[in-house]
Amino acid sequence: GYKLWLQYYPLENPKSEYREILGNARVPGESPTLSIIKTELEIARSGFFGPATLQKDSNSPKLIIALKDTDPAINKNTTPEEMAVLGEEGYLIKKFSEAGQNKILITANSEIGLLYGTFKLLQTIQTGEQIPNTGLSNSPKIKHRVLNHWDNLDRSVERGYSGSSIWNWHRLPRHIDQQYLDYARANASLGINGVSVTNVNANALVLTPEYLAKAKALADAFRPYGIKLYLTARFSSPMEIGGLPTADPINAEVQAWWKEKTKEIYQYIPDFGGFLVKADSEGQPGPHNYGRTQAEGANVLADAVRPYGGIVMWRAFVYNEKTPDDRHKQGYNEFKKIDGEFRENVIVQVKNGAIDFQPREPFHPLFGAMPKTPLMMEFQITQEYLGHDTHLAFLAPMFEETLKSDTYANGKGSLVSKVIDGSLHKYPLTAMAGVANIGTDRNWTGHHFHQANWFAFGKLAWDPETRSADIAEEWLKLTFTTDKKFTEPIQKMMLASHEMVVNYMTPLGLHHIMARGHHYGPGPWVTGGGRDDWTATYYHKATEKGVGFDRTASGSDALGQYAPEIQKEWGNLKTAPEKFLLWFHHLPWDHRLANGNTLWDGIALHYQKGVEEAKANVAIWESMEAHVDAERFKHVLSFMKIQAEEAVWWRDACLLYFQQFSKMPLPDGVDKPE
Ligand code: GCU
């Protein structure tokens, strides 16, 4: 499992033409990135065809991986137009013939583009796809494709479920663990080009010289893979490590402190990417402490990094538990009114939904609502609310659902994907972040199948319109086998898995009914704890009369933050999508769903469906034993059994809890609590 999707297992047709092509490559020049390319070709070649080397014919290489002007074959076989569309990071893979021989070239406008092209060629070979005769040209639609690690500097990871943090701060900067390089290589194979290494609940210590030296060592290790390093900045750092009496963003000394600190960071890391900031949320300090806006806060940091080309990713996850208003509305209310007030190197990082990475959320109403401020997407790859490490949930369909949502900002077709790729509002700055699910577990992600979520994030950050079905298929072929007897049923299982989890956790728009704190198991009964919004009853509002959060005009009117087209559709019970029903409506238990069932029966049947699927998945996986190595087979099987048992736990706990209010019997087809 450690090898992720870079297995390079033997090709089904070992006589493939690629034996000669990979054995006879020319990569002119010397540099750290070029040597990564050369090593990668060698690892792949010996994986595909065995370790024996071919006699090289250096006069007639069969694969040329080179920048323009570094090899005559590139200039001869490409056009300026073909090169221009590649941009900084794109690549072109092309077949050509020379002296009667079939050859392949990979070119780009940068060495990183060459590396991306190399990975693409190797992936194409492994999956058995063909390179089209017209060539394969590809470049990223999003500029900054960034993993966010919620590392606490002490090997722990907030919401991390795959062992400890892979950053060993104690051994840094003197020891560069091989895992850092394997990690960077895996990211580069997907086109991920940024890593924010520390928790958004930031520790100011990371900005001290001791830690900057460590961060520099990581940045140096990542650089040849095209990855920039970012740090989270604690807003109160000028006080905590700078000795100032205030962190007020309009204070001249505070501004000077950030400028000095930034200058120092760039001395360590000349290509430092910039800061990621969580402010004024869940106890974090921020501009509100001084009566300033989020823009005033962000701009101080933006001014500091601007001379060096850095950016600030300022999170929109700002809410205050003391504000009586629906938590759903707070991010929008905070940011909408300051659209256009941010410096041009600030991008506002918005979670996919307005609450908090729930198993299913409608898209965040800020998307489409800030035409003058670049917005980026923040997805959570780590499964805080989706069963942590043990529950299989392939997240690409969930990401895709959000990205394909129509904001109607500029009329029909104003998809979230077009907001974040910059095309809708012409944002020059674009980005996507994913909260990493990576840890020291031997297979990186706990569940083997959760590697697919890291993979999916990379693919969608490169192109947010990639189809989740294609992502699943490619991942399966790279990770296990191209045998359809395996890939077809397992792809189907993966694609259905997110909906399955929604069914047994939070069907029909229910949300945040998990246990307080760890968020792993069910907890619709949770009350108390000092904060109204951290109780489950805040979200489901179940009483004998009904269930659900009225967010229409008769309730909190969070729905009013969406475009009129959406308000009309989601606000009307005849047209509201059932998947968001109880997110926006409080309804009586005997409300009739579209299929004629009562709401109570519908809820119960959804829970049952989720349980049945989780149980069926165990049997499907058991039937795959012949296709998977024993180690991965057993590991996945034992996790699937846990998932099936815990789906029952979720169903029974939630139905028994809600039944106290509905006082209705379980419908036919729903098992009695186990
Ligand atoms: C959730 C999560 C926290 C995290 C926060 C955030 O609330 O439970 O652990 O810090 O999101 O995204 O900032």
Q: 579-606, pLDDT tens digit by residue?
A: 999 999 999 999 999 999 999 999 999 9
Structural contact between residues 33 and 112, judged by C-beta atoms closer than 8 angstroms: yes
Q: What is the CATH number assigned to the segment(s) 18-138?
A: 3.30.379.10
Region 644-673: mean pLDDT is: 98
Q: Is 326 a catalytic residue?
A: no
Q: Is 327 a pocket residue for ligand 1 (Cβ < 6 Å)?
A: no
Q: At what angle do helices 111-127 and 178-188 cross, to 10 degrees?
A: 80
Instruction: Indicate the helix (H) or strand (E) that contains 314.
Output: strand 311-315
Among the options 42, 282, 296, 652, which is catalytic? 282
Region 60-70: mean pLDDT is: 95
Q: 373 CB contacts (<8 Å, ≥6 apart)?
A: 335, 338, 339, 340, 341, 342, 346, 347, 348
CA 505 to centroid of ligand 1, rounded, Å: 19
Domain with CATH 3.20.20.80 in the chain: 144-479
pLDDT reading at 123 higher than 80 = yes
Q: What is the CATH number assigned to the segment(s) 502-549+586-662?
A: 3.90.1330.10
Q: Is 177 a pocket residue for ligand 1 (Cβ < 6 Å)?
A: no
Among the options 89, 326, 378, 384, which is catalytic? 384
CA 317 to centroid of ligand 1, rounded, Å: 9
Provide the pLDDT for residue 51: 83
Provide the pLDDT for residue 411: 98
Domain with CATH 3.30.379.10 in the chain: 18-138
Which residue has the CA at smallest separation from atom 10 of ligand 1? 201
Q: Is 233 a pocket residue for ligand 1 (Cβ < 6 Å)?
A: no
Q: 156 CB contacts (<8 Å, ≥6 apart)?
A: 164, 165
Dihedrals φ, ψ of 304, to 5°?
-70, -40
* Pairing mode, strands 63-65 and 25-26: parallel
Torsion over CA of 442, 446, 449 and 452, rounded to 10 degrees?
A: -80
Q: Is 356 a catalytic residue?
A: yes
Region 119-135: mean pLDDT is: 96
Q: Work out the pLDDT band at 459, boundaries 50, 70, 90.
A: very high
Instruction: Report how far residue 117's alpha carbon sits from residue 78's, in angstroms, rounded to the nearest whole number.
Output: 15
Domain with CATH 3.90.1330.10 in the chain: 502-549+586-662
pLDDT reading at 58 higher than 80 = no
Region 271-278: mean pLDDT is: 98
Instruction: Report how far residue 42's alpha carbon sits from residue 22's, in angstroms, rounded to the nearest whole number.
Output: 8
Instruction: Report how far residue 76's alpha carbon sits from residue 173's, in angstroms, rounded to the nearest whole number.
Output: 45
Which neighbouring-strand residues pair with 435?
Answer: 148, 380
Q: Work out the pLDDT band at 312, boundaries 50, 70, 90.
A: very high
Provide the pLDDT for residue 131: 95
Ligand 1 atom with the smallest distance to the CA of 278 is 13
Residue of higher predicted confidence among 13 and 365 = 365
Percentage of residues of the chain with pLDDT beyond 90: 94
Neighbouring CB atoms inside 10 A of 47's CB total 18
Determine whether domain 144-479 maps to CATH 3.20.20.80: yes
**Burial class for 132, CB neighbours closer than 10 Å (0-12, 13-18, 19+):** exposed
pLDDT reading at 463 higher than 80 = yes
In this structure, what token pair is assigned to residue 614?
């989780």
Instruction: Answer yes or no: pTM beyond 0.95.
Output: yes
Q: 216-237, pLDDT tens digit by residue?
A: 999 999 999 999 999 999 999 9
Q: Is 316 a pocket residue for ligand 1 (Cβ < 6 Å)?
A: no
How long, in residues, is the chain? 674
Q: Is 378 a pocket residue for ligand 1 (Cβ < 6 Å)?
A: no
Q: 507-543, pLDDT tens digit by residue?
A: 999 999 999 999 999 999 987 777 777 787 899 999 9
pLDDT reading at 476 higher than 80 = yes
Q: Is 512 a pocket residue for ligand 1 (Cβ < 6 Å)?
A: no
Q: 345-386, pLDDT tens digit by residue?
A: 999 999 999 999 999 999 999 999 999 999 999 999 999 999
Torsion over CA of 108, 109, 115 and 119, rounded to 10 degrees?
A: -30
